[in-house]
Structure 1
Amino acid sequence: MLYKVIHIGQAIKERVQQKEIAIERICNFLNKDEDFVNSVYESKSIDTDILLRWSKLLEYDFFRLYSSHLILYAPPSAVNKTKEKSNKTQTPQFRKNIYTQEIKNFIIKKIDSGEMTQADVIKEYSIPKSTLHRWLQKK
């Protein structure tokens, strides 16, 4: 899965095919018609309430695709970290990035295939050198 470009409808369709779920069951669960389901398959993005229902039906966290994208392509900058500490906000603040196994496999695959070097990965994704070396030792 390429995390840079996310086509959520395509990801949903692939998961439906993997799980071999009948269209009738999908329509009943979502309380929608077959045309709606087909329009979701073609959509690059969908409403979060609908995405949550798809996640439950297909037993897969589709939101993780977006989280992975944020971790890989929009890491927090050092300037933003200091400002966030001084401002009290109502939104939850996460203490650190959590790299999922999918992200680790994605990065290791890029290195193993020769598509990127370790230095390229560190520069492109802002992954600490020690973290990357730990992943490579454990593979």
Structure 2
Amino acid sequence: MEVDYKNIHIGTIVKMRVYELGIKSYDLIKEIPYSNLEELYLQKDLDAEMLLTLSKVLDFDFFRIYTQHLILYSPSNAKTKIKTPACQPLYNRNLYTKEIIDFILELHSKGLKSNVQIQEDYNIPRSTLQKWLSKYKKQNT
């Protein structure tokens, strides 16, 4: 499933997942509190309760898409000099999921971004990027 992590349109992502699973509209409507699926698919965002229900029914963690957006596009504290309050959870920017690694490597392999651009845009250390390139290049050959 191709996901645009920068501009998330959750309705479209839900529609893609339903299509992947081959679920019939009337079967899905029985499981969720929504009467019109086409209207659901047009929603740019959904409330957390609906997203949780869809995650369970469609066996897909839709919240992870937003988490990956935070990892890829949130400003690092070093750049912004903002102190995080002690009661607020910290985002661990060192956790890269397989989807994020694939996304970065796809940008690199298609020539859409250079190593330097990836490092600057996504705050990925040079050594981490080099490890990914060497590790996954070996696996794909």
Aligned to 2:96: 99
Identity %: 37
| 2:120 alignment partner, one of 119, 123, 136 | 123
Greater fraction helix: 1
**Superposed displacement of residue 24, structure 1:** 1.9
User: Considering only aligned residues, what root-mean-square deviation do their CA atoms show, in Å?
Assistant: 1.5
**Superposed displacement of residue 54, structure 1:** 0.5
How many aligned positions are there? 132
User: Which consecutive residues of structure 1, in runs of 5 or more, have no partner in the other structure?
Assistant: none
Q: How does 1:1-139 map to 2 (within 5 A)?
A: 1-33=3-35, 35=36, 37-78=37-78, 79-80=81-82, 83-84=83-84, 87-89=85-87, 91-139=88-136
User: Which consecutive residues of structure 2, in runs of 5 or more, have no partner in the other structure?
Assistant: 137-141
Measure, in 2, the Cα distance between the counterparts of 1:96 and 1:32: 35
Measure, in 2, the Cα distance between the counterparts of 1:103 and 1:134: 14
Q: Secondary structure at the match of 1:21?
A: coil
Q: Tell me: higher relative CO, structure 1 or 2? Use CA pairs within 8 A at least 6 residues apart.
A: 1
Measure, in 2, the Cα distance between the counterparts of 1:52 and 1:104: 25
**How does the TM-score come out when normalised to structure 1?**
0.87
